[in-house]
Homo-oligomer: A and B are copies of this chain.
């Protein structure tokens, strides 16, 4: 079944699409040169928003959990990319320890874990699951809806290494974003590859670092294509710690919001965009979807102190960023949708749409009510075709999404280098 899909086919995006297609060999070469200097994250998924007048990444996930949303047709691409990744990191590897999220009641998430195990098994590794859940002290089967089961095993930590009973891995793959902090069992694992590294988790990671790096990448890329970087870059402001309990914190937030909205308004005027600008308030740390708020008027923020949405338990202050809101004009069966592009190593291995019928085009879709429609990026029509009218070809559109997602991946690579706590050791 092919979903009825409406992409935003008007506006400057068509020009951008044409320029991207015409520049395909130059773009791919640009990525090759970037990857000579920088290491791609092990795996990445990027939420992309297509507003018709601009196309931008709004979230870059370094612990992607949507592999179950890829169609089976796409799997060989994942396996091939996983083979390339393993070969670079640890070609002698026999074993891979995968550490999933602690909460395993979500069957969609379990299907994602199962899919990841399948991909890395096919790529040539014995894969087993270790859990951070201290309540699990013996191998425990978790049934899946399809009748199969996953086995979670307790982690075994020795002085320098982490493993399971009779299982000593070369590489430990985290599919856990460490929102709850870095457990001691993962610290100081200098004899094994821990991927992504600990500082990719939300204990250390900050969206402001990511989007600052993305701004740099977008500028470089826009120079290559001779275009305004704003067409692919969502503007943002790092507000810093906001104390929602005192008026001063709120005033600073409102001032920053007014300033950012002003910048967006000027851009809209420059491009003759009739939409009403809006911004998104995001916690600087934390996974996509958590604590997001759409703000159309800074006065909306007055009430924010009454809301607990931005506040973590027992804390009065939250680190906050404001980001230019990028509306999405993509629809799947009339519901608002945004594409999510999945990558392993430097390769786009598939994608899907996040759909949320209960949300507006200017709201976060990664919220209750979201569903996922696999999109066959890997199907016959995945490869871009030249000579097709801009905006008229789904594969060309998907190629463009893959380019923007890979720009965000390059930014994540810059970000991880800049925030590496061990970096000074090598300098």
Contact = CB atoms under 8 A, between A and B. Distances in A.
A292 to B, nearest CB: 33
Interface in A274-314: none
A357 to B, nearest CB: 28
Contacts of A123: 28
A223 interface: no
A75 B379 CA distance: 9
Chain A interface size range: 35 or more
Interface in A86-104: 86-87, 91-94
A32 interface: yes
Contacts of A32: 83, 86-87, 91-92, 124
Contacts of A71: 380
Interface in A22-36: 24-29, 31-33, 35-36
A382 to B, nearest CB: 6
Nearest to A96: B25
A77 B349 CA distance: 10
Contacts of A121: 24-25
Nearest to A73: B380
A384 interface: yes
A383 interface: yes
Contact of A76 (B93, B94, B126, B382): B382
A378 interface: yes
Interface string A97-136: 0000000000000000000001001111110000000000
A358 interface: no
Nearest to A92: B33
A401 interface: no
A135 B353 CA distance: 53
Interface in A56-79: 71-73, 75-77, 79
A72 B380 contact: yes
B29 A73 contact: no
Given A80-B80, A92-B29, A24 B75 contact: no
A266 B84 CA distance: 43
Which of A346, A377, A379, A383 has the most chain B CB atoms inside 10 A of its CB?
A383
Nearest to A123: B28
A124 B80 contact: no
B75 A77 contact: no
A328 B32 CA distance: 43
Interface class of chain A by DSSP? helix
Nearest to A384: B122
A352 interface: no
B383 A75 contact: yes
A21 B310 CA distance: 51
Interface in A221-263: none
Contacts of A84: 84
Nearest to A87: B32
A326 interface: no
B77 A29 contact: no
A149 to B, nearest CB: 13
Interface in A364-407: 377-384
A25 B126 contact: yes
B75 A28 contact: no
Contacts of A77: 76-77, 80
Contact of A35 (B76, B87, B93, B383): B87
A76 B118 CA distance: 20
A53 interface: no
A347 B93 contact: no
B31 A80 contact: no
B347 A83 contact: yes
Contacts of A378: 73, 76
Interface of A: 24-29, 31-33, 35-36, 71-73, 75-77, 79-81, 83-84, 86-87, 91-94, 118, 121-126, 346-347, 377-384
11 contacts: A25-B125, A25-B126, A29-B125, A32-B86, A35-B87, A72-B381, A73-B378, A76-B382, A77-B80, A80-B80, A84-B84
